[in-house]
Amino acid sequence: MYDTNEFRKGLKVEIDGHPYIMVEHQFVKPGKGQAFTRVKLKSLLSGNVIDRTYRSGEKLEKADITETEMQFLYMADNVYNFMDNSSYEQYELQEDQIGDAWKWLQENMNVEVVLYKGNAVSVTVPNFVVLEVEFCEPGLKGDTATNTTKPATLVTGAEVQVPLFVNQNEKIKVDTRTGVYVERVK
């Protein structure tokens, strides 16, 4: 059980049998009355965000959540298959559970999979990934002086904006949190 003074961002709690992650918390001490804490909670199953207020001394139940490093194996029929690196157990995640992570997933890539009561519920990709540019318009010599960009399609199907000097079949580093080009990789 977590007391209100233990609330912090990233805390995983269970409310009415559903797992939530604490996105925001704010302690409020009014001039009159009892102190309370406002929190924003995001559901790990549906992604919905709810606002709740808890008086000082109230408790929330700890969620039965574990994060395990797994390897992405393949995708078939909108089902993503992952393998636990230590036990070799396989888990499946539906397309809606993956969210925007599909843009960065490559076969044999290691990712963090969130398990709730032994069932896979979501996936977290690394902050930076190196992917190959599958298609983009050719760059011209001398196009490095300005900050203009062009769209590029990556091997995973994601589209990012890249500088004009980036060419097809080159590898680039992308920030998965923002979807922004970082650098060209040799």
> pLDDT tens-digit profile of 126-137?
999 999 999 998
Query: What is the identity of the amino acid at 7?
Result: F
- Are residues 177 and 137 part of one domain? yes
Give me the pLDDT at residue 137, please. Answer: 87
CA distance 98 to 79: 9
Q: What is the pLDDT of residues 73-120, one digit of tens each?
A: 999 998 999 999 999 999 999 988 888 899 999 999 999 999 998 899
Q: What is the pLDDT of residues 42-68, one digit of tens each?
A: 998 888 899 999 999 899 999 999 999
Give me the pLDDT at residue 91, please. Answer: 95
Burial of 186 (0-12, 13-18, 19+ CB in 10 A): exposed
- Are residues 50 and 16 part of one domain? yes
Domain end call among 109, 124, 139: 124
Longest dimension (CA), the chain: 69
Q: What are phi and psi of 40, to 5 degrees?
A: -110, 130
pTM of the model: 0.76
Give me the pLDDT at residue 11, please. Answer: 92
Domain end call among 78, 98, 124: 124
- Are residues 94 and 44 part of one domain? no
- Are residues 143 and 158 part of one domain? yes
pLDDT(139) > 80 = no
**What confidence tier does 29 reach under pLDDT thresholds 50, 70, 90?**
very high
CATH of residue 95's domain is 2.40.50.140
Give the number of domains in the chain.
3
Domain end call among 42, 62, 82: 62
Residue 55: Cβ within 10 Å count:
11
What does pLDDT average to over the chain? 91
Which residues, other chains included, contact 103 with Cβ-Cβ below 8 Å and sequence gap of 6+? Answer: 154, 156, 157, 158, 176, 179
- Are residues 139 and 110 part of one domain? no
Q: Which of 49, 29, 53 is nearest to 41 (CA)?
A: 49
What residues does 116 pair with on adjacent strands? Answer: 65, 119
Give me the pLDDT at residue 108, please. Answer: 93
Chain centre to alpha carbon of residue 144: 32
108: left (phi over 0), alpha (psi -120 to 50) or beta: left
Question: What is the residue range of 15's domain?
Answer: 2-62
- Are residues 106 and 94 part of one domain? yes
- Are residues 57 and 102 part of one domain? no
Cβ contact 121:115 at 8 Å: yes
- Are residues 159 and 107 part of one domain? no
- Are residues 57 and 71 part of one domain? no
DSSP string, 153-182: EETTS-EEEEETT--TT-EEEEETTTTEEE
- Are residues 50 and 23 part of one domain? yes
Give me the pLDDT at residue 164, please. Answer: 86
